[in-house]
Amino acid sequence: MTKDARITAQLVLEALGGKENIQTMTHCATRLRVVVKSDQKVNKEKIEDIEGVNGYFYQSGQHQVILGTGFVNKVHAELLKDGIEEGNFKEAANQKLSKPQQFVKALADIFIPIIPVLIATGLLMGVRGLLVNGFGMEFSNELIVLSQVLTDTAFVFIPVLVTWSAMKKFGGTPVIGMVLGLMLVAPQLPDKWAVAFGEAQPLVLSIFGFDVAVTGMQSSILPAIFIGWLAATLEKKFRQWVPEVLDLILTPFLTLFTSLILGLVIFGPLIMFAESILTNLIMFFFELPFGIGGFVYGGLIQFLAVTGMHHTIVPIEVSMLTQTGVNIINPIGTAAIAGQAGAALAVVLAQKDKKKRATMFSSVIPAFFGITEPLMFAVNLPKGSPFLFGCLGGAVGGGLASILGIAATGTGATMLPGMLLYIGDGLLLYILVILVALFTGFITTKLAFKEKNVSTQTSTVL
């Protein structure tokens, strides 16, 4: 049966509480995202039963209706015809979030524009490893230097990317953030790594009788986030009292000067020290014997994903990658996704209704590309135990990944796209971890889950 976008739009609108209950809406590649005035007027069970709807979940202040690629555009267009306005969707969604959720979303907004660059850089590292280790090629000195420019630049100068993105996120002028980032890694400052390995001496400043050691902040993440936020805040304050005739010159000067002094000399070294301690603690946790760290993380990360808090892991992964050159969290996070996919596949096969089975299966497919929300909220969570069995699969796969010691050369990609980060080193082990997690989630769900034992299929998330 051909799906009718007009009928689906009308039914979705009715289930969301009617036109008068819609505050604003937008859509992504597969989902209609809606912010409503009253969550109590939303009938989630009714939404899930609509022809053409593949699933529904509530996250980050948004009611998200899974419609699928292409069809979501048609339904969105029909809703626009009904007079539903898009408005300022981000602002409306943020108003629905708690302070911790707003903090997590801010981190995600800062790093999402940067991740594609890090993925590309990781792929370049993988290709170099494949050529050297896989095919035994020998690079000339000139070619080695060129390859290092391709693979190392983004990580060495990542403070530039982070301050630019943070400045943009917090309402400042992005180019000022970019210049501040460049100042943090300026060649006039002693290189952070050269100082760490005793090859250079820090720049020592005497401030109120205290000696402060200053270095560049190559590969540092947290200081760059702080300085981007600080500069955006200061710039907005300066614009409030600087005369308009002097704003073009005086505001950027005051913003750059104040932010650099406070960030590079005073707060920066303290935050960089804390970042180093945090990275070491995280590495220690994931390197615990018998794969304990991977088992715990692989089993619990999807609980964070339910609340949207998993975005807090992104800066940790980036920081680990820039500080150590490897990302040992990536394969464990991939195992967690594979475990959920395995559990969901078992639920799909147990479903006797062909229509529901097809709808559920369409929610499982995105998981193989690293997106678990559709299957979690449309399949595993409503059924209850499959979500827990999926977490078990993630724990087993994550523990195996830690025992094997595999690591990615980048971040941001998992499951099938994540294979790009393991080219030439650990690819087969990465695939093994996925299969083990997938198989564990599938088998445990297949053996223990019985569809007839589930009396209700209402979502637990709202």
Structure tokens at 347: 């639920």
The span from the CA of 256 to the CA of 226, in Å, is 14
> What number of other Cβ atoms are within 10 A of residue 367's Cβ?
27
Structure tokens at 330: 């990536």
Q: What DSSP line would sit under 114-141, residue for residue? A: THHHHHHHHHHHHHHHIIIIIS-----H
The span from the CA of 21 to the CA of 41, in Å, is 8
The span from the CA of 174 to the CA of 117, in Å, is 18
Structure tokens at 306: 């339910």
The pLDDT value given to residue 379 = 83
The span from the CA of 296 to the CA of 301, in Å, is 8
Residue 391 falls in the annotated catalytic set: no
Task: Name the DSSP letter for residue 20.
Answer: G
The span from the CA of 383 to the CA of 396, in Å, is 21
Beta strands in 150-258 (DSSP E): 203-207, 210-214
Alpha carbons within 13 A on the beta-carbon side of 366? 22
Output the tens digit of pLDDT for each of the chain's 462 residues: 567 888 998 998 899 888 888 888 888 767 788 888 888 888 888 887 888 887 787 776 788 888 877 788 888 888 888 877 766 666 666 666 667 767 777 887 888 788 888 878 877 877 777 777 667 788 888 888 888 888 888 888 889 999 999 999 899 999 999 999 999 988 888 888 788 778 888 888 877 777 778 888 888 888 899 999 999 999 999 999 998 888 888 999 999 999 998 988 888 888 888 888 888 888 889 889 999 999 999 999 988 777 666 667 878 888 888 778 788 999 999 999 999 999 999 998 888 877 777 777 877 888 898 878 778 877 888 788 899 999 999 999 999 999 999 998 888 788 988 888 887 678 899 999 999 999 999 999 999 887 654 443 433 333
Sign of the torsion formed by the C-alpha atoms of 438, 444, 445 and 447 = positive
Catalytic residue (choose from 19, 28, 95, 201): 28
Residue 459 corresponds to which amino acid? S
The span from the CA of 226 to the CA of 117, in Å, is 21
* 68 φ/ψ sector (left φ>0, alpha ψ -120 to 50, else beta): left
The span from the CA of 62 to the CA of 351, in Å, is 28
Residues with Cβ < 8 Å from 322, sequence gap 6 or more? 155, 158, 219, 220, 221
The pLDDT value given to residue 2 = 63
Residue 217 corresponds to which amino acid? M
